[in-house]
Structures are given as C-alpha cells and as structure tokens.
Structure 1
Amino acid sequence: MSDMSSIKVEEMRLGLFRVRWILRNLLKTDSHEQKLQLLGSQSSYMFVIHLNIITKDENAHNANDKYKFLIAVEEILPQDSVNVTTSKKVDYGTCQETLLKLNNQSPDSVVKRLNYWASRPVYMWIHPHTGSVYANEIPLQNIADRMWSRIVTGSLPDAITLWIDFGTTTLGEKNIIQGLKRLLYSQSQCDVQFVCKNGEVVGAHTLILSAGSPVFAAMFQSKSLEAGVNKVKIDDCEMDVVKQLLIYLYTGNVPNLSDDEAILLFFKLSDKYGIETLKNECVKVLLKRVTLSNAISLLVLSHVHAVPKLLESVLQFMATNGFEICSQQKWVDLMKHYPDLCLMATRRMTAKNDN
C-alpha cells in the first residue's frame, strides 16, 4: 500500500462498492498504486488500483488539458493463493503481462474458472476530484480478463472515487444466483454434458438451460441429444467460451466482451441457441465498434442474422465513409456474394453525396 495515499471502502448496497482513494504528493513520482480488499458480500475479493502519469503539457492553454494519465484497476481472483506482485508502472503491455502471469500460476480447473466468471464485476466507473470540482462519471473499459482501465486528460486529481458493481441488487437475488452458481461449478447433479473443442467436457442441468434458451428446451424435450449419453457437442468452441455461456444462463452475468473476436463468437452462439438477452448485449457493443475494417463484415452479419438496428447503423457509417469502404477488397467480395446488400449500401452512399 502506498504511503502517499489513503483509502476507504464502503458497500452501498449488495454488490455495489464505493472506494474513496485520497492521493498525496502526486507529483513526486509518475506511478502510484493502492491495494484494497472489499468487504461484506465480496469480502474475499482484492484489487490493485494504479494511476500512471503518461504526459504533461506545460504549454497547455487550458489547465484541464495539462495532464494525460492512466487509471487501471486490476482484479485478483477470490481465494486465490497466488501471491500477486504488481508492476509499479502499469500500461497496456504490462497489464497483459501481469494477467498472463496469473493465468499461468492458477490451476485450470472447472470449479476455479466457473467461480471466477460467476463472481466478477460487471461495471466500473470513476469520479476524479480536483479541489472542490467533482468530475462527471468516467466509465472504465474491461480491456482484458482482469483489467479495467481508462486514459484521462485533465488536471491531476486530489482524490478518486471508484465504483465497483457486481450487478446484484437484493439479498434474494444474491441467494438464488449463488445457489445456481454452486450447482454449476460444483458439477453436482448434472444431467447433460457439453463436449467442447479438444474433447473437454463440462456438465450442466437441462431444466436451467431450458429456462434461458428455447433451443435447448426443444432439444431436451425432443431428446435430440446424442443417443444414450446426454451430450451436446459444441466442438467449434474452446472450453472457456462454453463456461462463460453457461455462467450467463445460470446467473445473468454477461461474458467478457472486451475484444471483437469474443463479441462475434458470443453473438453467433446466442443467436444459434436463441438467447436473445445475450444477443442484445452483443449488439449494444457492436453498435459502438463499427470501423472501416469491420463495417462490411458487420453489414453481412446484421443481414444474415436479422438485426435491423445494427444494419441501419452500419449503413449510416458506410454512407459517411463511402470512398474508403469501396476501396477495399471486401467490397468486391460483397458485390459478388451479396449484390442486394451492395446495392443497398451504394444507394445510401449516393443519397449522402447528393445531400
């Protein structure tokens, strides 16, 4: 724990924590860190908060633009026996390095991984304080399995209020979710098995799966599983992906959607098994991540899987960036394989230019 700061942790409601980090002598060093342990409903959970000053612009006309600094919050697995040593200088590279170190030291067991995915935070945000000024909410991004961060431009704060939300609101909800979670990660009373890539197996419960997926409900009702062994093959997915999908069906905790590959994978799985709520979560993220490199692919995806909101968003983006889009090889492929979609996008671009 840094001797240049102090910290206070409060549970505001079940699963929602407010952490007040008071900073002192901030300019003596570029890097600051603070370890903390939660209390109450998540008393076994630990974090390390990092603040690293990236740049300082002495010539900035506005004092609020003088500094650029990184805020990073590192999650530590509950009840993990690993002695985590954090870096004094954390950036995106060292974040990934620390995560790899943790992953290599932690046992890769069904119980450990399911327990982790079921109990992790779903949202974090900060409010920096400078003097009497209380800044607006700044959401942190989940950039990796156990790392949340955000680069902030402005005055250096005297204090930071960090909010950590595990997503539960009542004791009743918490008890039910904990009970379902225990059923899954203890692997007790399972009546169906999922066979993943490389032949790895994880058990589940048909009644719980049927409640969250009409496709699973129909599958189990019609006994269309592999004869005699109650197995569902998802051999195009890694075990960790299937575990996160099961955790969502048992607890409602959204999987890690921090990278584009993961989003597309969970989108296709939720569409395949009729899990509309998870599909909608993926669409929310995709709507914010339309770029020149993925616009054509997302256009096809939204058309094939009938997602009108995403289709409209991509068409608007393509209309604004017509020249760059039409210069890609993907555009040639689109004309060949999806001429109707190509025509639709071309009309949008033409209408935009006419205006």
Structure 2
Amino acid sequence: MADASTTLNYVLPKDGSPGICDYSSPCVLLPSDTFIRIAYLRERMEESDNLKVRAEVECSMLDSTSFQESFRRLHESPVGRDFTLVSSDGTEELVHKAILIARSPVFSAVFESNLSESQTGRCTIDDVASSVLDVLVKYMYCSCSDKDVTEKAKEVLLAADKYQLRTEQCELNLIGQLAEGNIVDMLLLTDGVAAPALRDASFRYLKTNSTAVKSAGVIKSLCEQGSPQLVAEIVTYLLPA
C-alpha cells in the first residue's frame, strides 16, 4: 500500500445545492460523521453565506504491482483449489472457484444457479484447447505474460468473450499485428466478439490505408463475409464527413 496526502477544499452553499469539491487525489477518506457536522453548521449560516471546509486528508492507495504479484502467487499455489476446468483435449486445470466468480459473469451465474457444474466441481470447455485454457486461466489470475498473449491472442480473445472476460492484452496485441493481409480477419473477428479497442483500431486502419485496402479487395471480402451491420458501420465510417 502506498500512502498519499491531499488537501480537500469544499464549498458548501447554504441553499442545499451540491457543493464544489477540489482535491489533488482521487482517494479521499473522511470521518463518518463529517456530513452530520456540515449539516449542523449549515443550519446556523446566514442565507447568503457559504460554508468553506478545508481539511488535510491522509489516504491509502492500492499498489497495483503488489496486487498482481499476490494473484500470481495464488495461481502458482496448489492450496485451496476447489474447481476443475477441462479443455477440449481432456487436460485438467485446477482453479479457485472464487476467482472464476470474481472474474467471469458467466461462471458466477453458473454457481448462483446451482447448475450441474456447480454440483460436480467440474466444467468441460469443448471448444477450447489446453494451450488456450492455460493462458485464459493465467489471465484470470492477473499473471498472463505478453509472450503468452502473443502466441494465442485470437484464440484467447474468442474464449474470453464466451465467458464475458475483457482481455485488453489480447486486443492490444492484435492491434499491433494489423496489416493489409489480415485486416479482413480482424474485422470479422470483432464482428463476433466484444473487442471495442480492436474494432476501432481496425476501422482507423481501413481509413488510413484506404488506397491499399481498396486495391486488395478488402471491402468486397467484407461485404461477402461480414454481417450487414459491420458493413454498414464501415461504409459510414469511410464516407467523407
């Protein structure tokens, strides 16, 4: 945990309208009775007055590096693992149910609904290979390396979308790979999964490289393979403002 100090300046109008708060840190902790005391003072002000509060505040902010390191150690520890994920090729991955619940709305719903997976403590993911499942699990434990993502970015993105996991690492990796030879595949990928950053970057690539894209028949390929909504969005985006 990293400590920080900030000065809070708060102007509270007598008429009860919202005050103006100006402070140098997004994390401010005040005593629980602060607003009671402010209300008490407000009642005793003249109608034309404003209550001005100035306070020196000590606050604590979570160290993200320490946070990730803690989850990495949890991923490497065999202690407390109480659920098994099974890949399409039969490889088993022991995980913590609490991590699945916290990271995936889909898994959370499975356990809340008391489905068979919750009863057996096992879930078979038929369309995810063991190499992809390994990266997906690492991502849920915040211990996924850039190398892991580079090798399986597209597959992990597809698997993550199935369980409503946002994988910004995968999107950034794929954005770095955008090229004339794969722009159609990238756009078609975003047509089926929630990857807003990759979709926006792909649209910008089309516009920036419009001449090369047209000569390569990209628009024609998208019209043949993409959804009507995707094609309409691309055409609208490329049209002059």
Same fold (TM over 0.5): yes
Structure 2 partner of 1:311: 199
Aligned equivalent of 1:194: 85
Matches within 5 A, 1:196-235: 196-226=87-117, 228-235=119-126
Higher helix share: 2
1:129-144 mapped onto 2 (5 Å cutoff)? none
Give TM-score, length-normalised by structure 1.
0.43
8 Å contact 2:88–2:125 — kept in the other structure? Answer: yes
What is the CA deviation profile of residues 177-220 of structure 1, one whole-angstrom value per residue up to 9, with x for unaligned ones?
Answer: 4651343xx3x543322111222222222122212222211112
Root mean square deviation, CA, Å: 3.1
**For residue 162 of structure 2, what is the aligned residue in structure 1?**
272
Change (3 A) 1:351 1:200: same
1:295 to 183, 190, 213: 183
Distance between the aligned counterparts of 1:191 and 1:207, measured in 2? 9
> Pick from 231, 234, 238: which aligns with 1:342?
231
Who is 2:33 aligned against?
A: none
Question: Post-superposition, which runs of at least 4 consecutive aligned residues in structure 1 deviate over 6 A?
Answer: none
Identify the residue that residue 240 of structure 2 maps to in structure 1. Answer: 351
CA distance in 2, matches of 1:339, 1:327: 22
**Helix, strand or coil: the match of 2:201?**
helix
Instruction: Classify the secondary structure of the residue corresponding to 1:351.
Output: coil
SS at match of 2:149: coil
CA deviation string 1:283-314 (max 9, x = no partner):
22222221111212222333433444332321
C-alpha displacement of 1:348:
4.2
Q: Partners in 1 of 2:129 and 2:163 — Cα distance?
A: 17
Counterpart contact for 1:319–1:345, Cα < 8 Å = no
CA contact (8 A) 1:320 1:349 kept: no
- Give the % identical residues: 23
The TM-score, its normalising length taken from structure 2, stands at 0.60
Write the mapping of 1:32-111 to structure 2, written as runs, cut at 5 A.
none
In the alignment, is residue 282 of structure 1 matched against residue 182 of structure 2? no
Deviation at 1:264, TM superposition (A): 0.9
Cα gap change, 1:229 to 1:286, in 2 (>3 Å):
same
Q: Give 1 or 2: higher strand fraction.
A: 1
Q: 1:191 touches 1:230 (CA, 8 Å); kept in 2?
A: yes
Distance 1:168 1:201, change over 3 A: same
Structure 2 portions without partners, runs of 5+ = 1-62
Pairs aligned (count): 177
Distance 1:299 1:203, change over 3 A: same
Equivalent residue letter for 1:316 = R
Q: Counterparts of 2:188 and 2:110 in 1: how far apart (Å)?
A: 28
Whether the aligned pair in 1 keeps the contact of 2:111 and 2:118 (CA below 8 Å) is: no
1:258 aligns with 2:146: no
* Residue range with higher mean Cα deviation, 309-318 or 339-348: 339-348
Kept in 1: contact 2:84–2:92 (CA 8 A):
yes
Q: Does the 8 A contact of 2:161 with 2:194 survive in 1?
A: no
Instruction: Report the AA paired with residue 249 of structure 1.
Output: M
CA distance in 2, matches of 1:331, 1:292: 12
Aligned 8 A contact 1:209 1:217 in 2 = yes
* In structure 2, C-alpha distance between the alignment counterparts of 1:308 and 1:192, rounded to whole Å: 31
- Distance, in Å, in 2 between the alignment partners of 1:251 and 1:310 is 21
Cα distance in 1 between the residues matched to 2:95 and 2:183:
37
